[in-house]
Structure 1
Amino acid sequence: MSKFNRAPSLFVPHGGGPFPILEQGSPISKYMKSVWPHLLMNKSSNPTPPKAILLVTAHWEEPDDHPTGNSGHDGGPAISAGSRHELLFDYYGFPPETYKYKYPAAGSPEIAQKAFDLLKGAGFRPRLDTKRGWDHGVFVPMMLIRPEADIPIIQCSLLSTLNADEHIRLGQALEPLRDEGVAIVGSGYSFHNMRLFRATGFGAGKLPDDMTKKLKEFGEGLKQACTVASPEERVKQLTEWAKIPGGRIAHEREEHLLPLLVCAGAAGNDSGKLVWEEVSTPTPPVHSYIWE
């Protein structure tokens, strides 16, 4: 019997580059600072922070040249396994101060090894990585959610296949960590189409009405898939996310959606709940979900 209470599985939109830190009056920044810190706590009579956070970032894909195992998985995932990791400033054209940020949380080689063993046991081909820094999908939200930097973080990559079913199964393999007090956090975006972001002037303009309608349909379909009561139905609907009307408009490339699928896979029998919805832009609502 674990001495830890079950930690949550939480999907958070991480904003664009360092904007949530630069614009701390924005809705997403306010929510990161005021609500998500409480969501990280376990659901118990005496809520406590997680023992560690395994964070799946949209900005790390395991390269295709990682050897393919008998499982058929095309490499990955990679798991950060150092006791400390530098920050990787993987954005461009921002003010100089955004390249000087610090987030000195520890890593956890021990939990990284546990994640490795779980994934290998599930037929994946994981590898441990002690060198790659934490990208902005990690440090930008965490600087606001947990500025104390006192919870160890294990960064996890996506699979290079970008296959929906494999990412759900990746989450299913990692679910036992939650019973050891390790929160599973997915950092991505429920809507991510850079072409449309640019077309609207990053929120300043307006999309055609027919496109807006389809994108709202996708938002509603995604909400239905994430919050449906049946775990089997949740897996089915999210595996087929591209069939939701507007799916391929919302995500021409799905790397920002896949961390959500990992979190949904790690949900087990827990019910999903929409915990934040940003509707102030002409793009579709941006969602955050929790399973606990």
Structure 2
Amino acid sequence: MSTKKTPVYFFSHGGPDVQYRTDHPVYPVLQNIGREITEKVKPKAVVVFSGHWEAEPNVIEVNTAEHTDLIYEGSPELASKVIDLLTDAGIKAKGVTRGLDHGVWSGFHVSLYASQDVDKHYQLGQAVASLRDENIVIIGAGMSVHNLRDLYSTRGDPRPLPYTVSFDEALKEAVEAPPSERRARMQEVAKRPDARQAHPVS
């Protein structure tokens, strides 16, 4: 087995129509990432943390269904392994059976916390990081900016709102920071005013 870790991806995928709207700017980007994963990385499996599936404030749900509502197949064995990794890390996790939401099939089968707590989600990533040593790709699916109110009020205007640019740049700098600084940098980003604009609570 190779000692090289598989990459980790984040799909800021937008709505489910990006799968078939070939004129959408993100369509060729996602196609290229898909080719990279299937033709270069060639993972044994893929685990996706979906921003469209939030469990409880202190519980992570892992989809244990072998066959789902869509054409993709799941792996109960991999789901069990993810639950074990989370439990070993002190993270409360449970198996559930559900279909695949568009945060998964746009971009496979683990929830996020129903919480804005950055530290909890950071620990979640640390708990499953060893999967990368087993040729398993980890994907985070969602959007770095998700303010539907502003999206609809500016529809047709291609210019990004200032807070979307400043927040996205700060987020990028935080996730690309050295590992020793990354956790603290992510906590700082979450406290920024533009973070609240990017992800309004209501």
2:192 corresponds in structure 1 to: 244
* 110 and 253 in structure 1: CA distance in 2 versus 1, 3 angstrom threshold: same
Identical-residue share of aligned pairs (%): 33
Of 177, 188, 212, 2:142 maps to 188
Separation (CA, whole Å) in 1 of partners of 2:75 and 2:100: 13
Alignment of 1:1-292 (within 5 A): 2=1, 5-16=4-15, 18-33=16-31, 35-40=32-37, 47-63=40-56, 74-87=57-70, 104-129=71-96, 131-141=97-107, 153=108, 155-201=109-155, 204-205=156-157, 212-228=161-177, 230-253=178-201
Aligned-pair CA distance for 1:237: 1.0
**Per-residue CA shift, 1:235-265, capped at 9, x if unaligned?**
11112222335221111149xxxxxxxxxxx
Aligned-pair CA distance for 1:53: 0.6
Separation (CA, whole Å) in 1 of partners of 2:50 and 2:118: 15
Q: Is the 8 A contact 2:45 2:135 kept in 1?
A: yes
Q: Is the 8 A contact 1:8 1:41 kept in 2?
A: no
Q: Could you state the TM-score of these two structures normalised by the residue count of structure 2?
A: 0.90
Q: Is the 8 A contact 1:7 1:41 kept in 2?
A: no
The count of residues paired between Structure 1 and Structure 2 equals 202
Separation (CA, whole Å) in 2 of partners of 1:177 and 1:216: 32
Q: Is the 8 A contact 1:82 1:107 kept in 2?
A: yes
Separation (CA, whole Å) in 1 of partners of 2:191 and 2:116: 16
**SS across alignment from 1:240:** helix
Q: Is the 8 A contact 1:79 1:127 kept in 2?
A: yes
**Structure 1, unaligned runs of 5 or more:** 64-73, 88-103, 142-152, 255-292
**Per-residue CA shift, 1:176-235, capped at 9, x if unaligned?**
01101111100001111011111112xx1378xxx933332222211211222x112111
What is the root-mean-square deviation in Å for CA atoms of aligned residues? 2.3
Separation (CA, whole Å) in 1 of partners of 2:53 and 2:92: 16
**SS across alignment from 1:7:** coil
